Structures are given as C-alpha cells and as structure tokens.
Structure 1
Amino acid sequence: MTQLRTVQVLGGGSAGSSAHVRSLAAGLVARGVRVTVCAPAELDHDYDFLGAGAHFVPVPRRSDPLSVGALRAACVGADVVHAHGVHAAVRAAMALASQHVPLVVTWHSRPHAEGARRQLLRLMERKAVRAAAVVLGTSSELVDRARRRGARDARLGPVTSPAPRQVDDLGDHGKARAELGAVDRPLVMSVGPLEPYRGHDTLLDAARSWLGHDPVPLVAVVGEGRQRGALQRRIETEELPVRLLGHREDAGSLLAAADVAVLASRWEARAPLAQEALRLGVPLVATAVGGVPELVGEAAELVPYGDAVALASAVSRLLADPGRRAALAEAGRRQARTWPTEDETIAQVLSVYDELCER
C-alpha cells in the first residue's frame, strides 16, 4: 500500500493553529503518514515541526508568484493538502490550481477586519471554502459560516489545544505570585495578544472599578501586540493595578497561580486561554461570543462583550466567594474531560484524508 503523503499549510499561524499543526504532524507521522509543513520560517523555530518528524519547507505569508511557486512545488506528489486558516487556504488554492489534489481547510477562527477590508475578507472566505473538498470548523458557528460562504462539505472538527504541563506544586504558585507582587492580594490573569479584538480596553475599564477593593486585585496580562503602547499609557495615566508582562514562556505557571482568569474577546472559537484555565481548575470569566459558550458549557461565568460593568461584577463576585471558585474549578476540569483528545482529533483528520483518497 502506498504511503499517504500530506502537506500542512500555515499562514501567519496563530498560537492555536500552529500548536494544532505541530500536534497533527507528530500524530500523523507516528501513524506512518509522510508530512510536509509549509509555513513562515520563524514558526519552525517556535514549534519545531522538524522535531515532530515532518519535512519543513519555509514559505512566507505572502501571495506573490515566488511564494505561491514554492508552495506549488512542495505540493507536487501530495495525496492531500491541508490548509489552516483563511489566508493559508487561499494561497493553497492558488498553488493547487493546476494540480488534482484534494484540499482540506481547517477554519480555526474568524479573521477580524474593518471597513473596506471586511468585504475583501468575505471574498477570501468564499474563495477558501469553495476550493476545499472538506472544511473543518472548530466550532458550530464556524461550520455555519463556511456553509453560508458556499462550502460543499463543512463539518465540525473541534481542535483541543495540547494539554499544558500541570503545575501542582504550591511552591510554584507562591513563587509566581511573589514575582508578580500578588502575595497578599487577589491575582486576575489574562493571556493573549494585545490586539483590539481581545477586549483589553474593557479589562482595563473593569480594573479601574477594582481600585475600591481592599486589597486591590492585581491584573496581569501575558502577551504582545500593537496595542501595548496604548494600554501601557492608560495604565500609567489612570494608575491602574495592571501589569503587562509581555511574552512569557511560563504563562501556564502564572495562570495556574491566578485566582480568576479573564477572556474579554470580541470573538473566539476554541480559545487556548479558556481551555488551559478549565484544565488547570482556574475559575474563568469569559465573553459569551463565538464558540466560547459551546466550549465551556456551565463551567465559566459568561458576560456580554464590551460590558465592563458586567465583567467587573462577575470577577468581584468570584473573588468574594471561595465556594463558587472551587465549584467552577471542579466544573472546569469535568468540562475539559469532554473535549476530544489529541488522538481523537488526529483520528478524525486521518479519516477525512482516507475518505478523500478513496474518492
């Protein structure tokens, strides 16, 4: 029997999609599949696709003839090409224009665009899903969106982030809290890029209302992005109890030490922060947007997007109620056990590949 060969295509590569491709590559290689990953060079440094047993071809996140040509060459001889995200799917469709190779697209999230770019994004979404033999949406909302854009075959393909290292040592928690200056005060954590759609301005509005608490909670935010300068100026001008920590390799340890985690985004599918908080038993307050309610079930406090009063009140109630925090921690761990494992995710993807090859 001929060995199956697949090409995995990443564009800019969000943390969730890049981690998924790394997990997928390792799992497919272990099952005897030859895997090539095409992605910007820096992603292999961060996610070590070569270490997963895949062949790696650096391809910039551009649609110029040189980049598309490099992607086209990498796809020659492939049985299935699998693109992750809208931009990667459009470039993969261009590369496969003269090749009879089935394209699978995993839609991990909904890209954000304003003004004239929104119409361009809609056109890109239509081109991406119509070129695909199968579209896998990581949430029911994304599956519905793909169908509205014209997908021939759109299915739910939930992706679970690789399980984080469990941090059970209370000494680790104490060390993390001491470093942040939260030994004798509550610690509220958020993790994610400092971009407008992540709702950090709303989180800062909520933090201003916590100045009246005794002791005042410390809000710690892990992540980098174009909003960092504006957020830091607000923090200094308004004297808010917020620390921007930048990129941290120990984000999981910091999150495990928190009293409450906050996800204030405008939209999410299967947010890595929500997954990690529930697995670690950290009570979560999140916006009821996108795939978040489907992901967390009853295991988190949900609030409307952009509502700083509701966000502040939900966090305040949790900080004042240790019993509710303990109940949410247990509910979170139970909910996490209902998510597909990495093995189940890989098995679903492989079954799609086999189905397309049989056609």
Structure 2
Amino acid sequence: MKNFSASSLLTLSCALLAASTAQAQSSDTIKVGLMLPYTGTFAQLGVAIENGFKLFVQEQGGALAGKKIEFFKVDDESEPSKGIENANKLVQRDKVDVLIGTVHSGVAMGMAKVARDTKTLLIIPNAGADAITGALCAPNIFRTSFTNWQPAYAMGLVAAERKHKSAVTITWKYAAGEESVKGFKEGFEAKGGKVTKELSVPFPTVEFQALLAEIAAAKPDAVYTFFAGAGAVKFVKDYAAAGLKDKIPLYGAGFLTDGTLDAQGDAASGLLTTLHYADGLDTPKDRSFRLSYAKTYKLQPDVYAVQGYDAAQMLAAGLKAAGGDFSKREALIKGMELAKIDSPRGAFTLSKAHNPVQDIYLRKVENKENKMVSVAAKGLADPARGCRM
C-alpha cells in the first residue's frame, strides 16, 4: 500500500470536501417539509394548504427557479406538546431545506423555536400567533397568512361603526383565540365600544350550551367569536339553534366560515366576518386561481388554499433572487423580503417583521359563499410588537 504524506492527505481531504460542497450546492432538488394537521379538527385545513402549495409548483412545471421540489410530510396532530419533536423529524431526520407549517398557533410556536435554533427557513401558511412576527421574529421566519390581531382588529372597527356599544367574546382558550379576542377588543374599544365579558372553552371542546345561555342572559349588542374547522361548524349551528342568531348579531374572524359553509348550512347565512380573502373578488388572478384549483382538486378553494399557494410563491421569489442556489441565504432571504406577491387575495408585500401588509375584507355569507361587502381595513400592517429584527 502506498504511503501518503500529511500534506498529500490534507490536499486529498480538501479536494473531497470541495467536491462534496459543490455537489450539495449544485443539487437540483429542494427538500420541502410539510408539517400540517392531517387528522383531527384542522385536518381539512392542512389538506387545503398542501393543495395550494403544490398547485403553484405544478403551474411552474413542477419546479421552482429550476429546482425540483421533493416533499416530506409530518402530521402535527394540532398538538403543541409535539411541535418541537415533529419539526425536528423534518429538520434532523429528513434534512429538509425549508419548513412549511402550520395551522395551530401553539404548534407553530414550537416550529419557530426549531427554526430559530437550527436557522432553517420557515414559511408559516396559516398560524397567526402574534409573537412569531413580533417578539420572536427572525430573519429566517416568514408568514404568508396573517397575525391573529389583523382580522380581529378590523372586525372591532366594523362592529363599532355599526353602532354596537357592548360585546361579549367567545373562543377556545388557546393562543389564537386569546390573541384574536384581544385584537377585536383593541379595535372595538378604540372606537367607543366596550367588551363586557370574555368567555372561553378548552381546545378542542365543542360543548357550548352553558356559555350560550350566559350570552343570552347578558344581552350584549354583539358577539365576537374565533373558531375554525369542526369547532366553527358546531358553534355556528349551536348559536342558531339556541335562538340567538336573530337576536344578537354574531361576528367573527373569517375562519368561522371559511371551509365550513357546506357543513354549517343555513345556520351561517348572513354572518359577517373579516379576513384577508373573500369569494367573488373578481380579479384576473383570483379567477385563474379558483379555476385552476377547482380543475385540479375538484373542490372550491378557501383562504387556506390561498395561503399555501402564496407560501410557494414566496419561496419561488427567494429562489429566483438567489439564482436557484439555496445556499445563497442572504440573497434568498432578501428576495423574499422584497417580493410583491401576486396573490389571489390581492397583491401584498411584507413588513419588516416578515408578515403580510394586506387588505382585510368584510364578508357576508350568501348562498354558501363568503361574499365581499367592502374593505374593512386597507393595507393593514400588524404592529409587530417586540420585534427587534
């Protein structure tokens, strides 16, 4: 066997390292980790987000900036206690380049911790936890949806403008619900209203009868609520069955009636909600998106599909700016920060905290659609309290 000098071994090692690095940087595949709910209360929402993301990739011929996309999936179970563990499955085990997720704000907080610790790129296509683009903001964390504050604050303004003076709020007792109620209260009371009672039930409880009786006894001018998925279906039907629908106007963040209208039936008719998307926006982008989604999945898209679609758009913008080279992180992140996303909801940009600056629409349920009534808040930016990025 030949003897190698120390210098020869060093030269060989450097060559192998250089070859390995070049191979990694020239990889024609981007590994995308989808950490979404595929079972439980939010399962339908997770599927819609995945569908939207994959639709945009499909429209680009199955690649973004010339890079093929390889998907890895983990069911987050909407379980915050498993958030870090599940995110690490994708980051440590599957070695994904980017994390996409999730719906539940508590789970997203765990994902954000993993992303911050490992510097993994994270794009949040739904969970609105204020802190993620607030006190926990980071250069590698982006959101294509909303903060819990945004639609809630806008609805607070709307409720006050409709001359309501008192309101009761009701939600699940978890981060998203509590932050949504806080946002509504801020907007409502800034315009002279008063939240007289704040009610909650543990997540994912759907037993509302006792609290509905409490609302009936309190007789507020209005009720504001934050529920989504199966919980939203049950609450809207129970509210109507209790005889409250025609007595005390029910308002909510748009998740109350997004992706839930078929199941809610007539109980949802006439409800007003606020959100960054609505049916019947009637723009060229929205029309083409809805047609493409319906043809591909034989379903009508909702806000969750839009947010997934825009998560793919944002990743594509970053990859394009980096010339398709994922290792050029500075260029990738800058490209995402400066992107103007041509979304079905209407074009939006990002704040310095990496959260959408967007119009919030007032919608009314008509014929099982969330029809736009007006723009409740134009170009609304989250205050991003505590962000020091």
User: TM-score under structure 2 normalisation?
Assistant: 0.33
Which structure would you say has the larger RCO, counting Cα contacts within 8 Å and 6 or more residues apart?
A: 2
**TM-score under structure 1 length normalisation:** 0.35
Higher strand share: 2
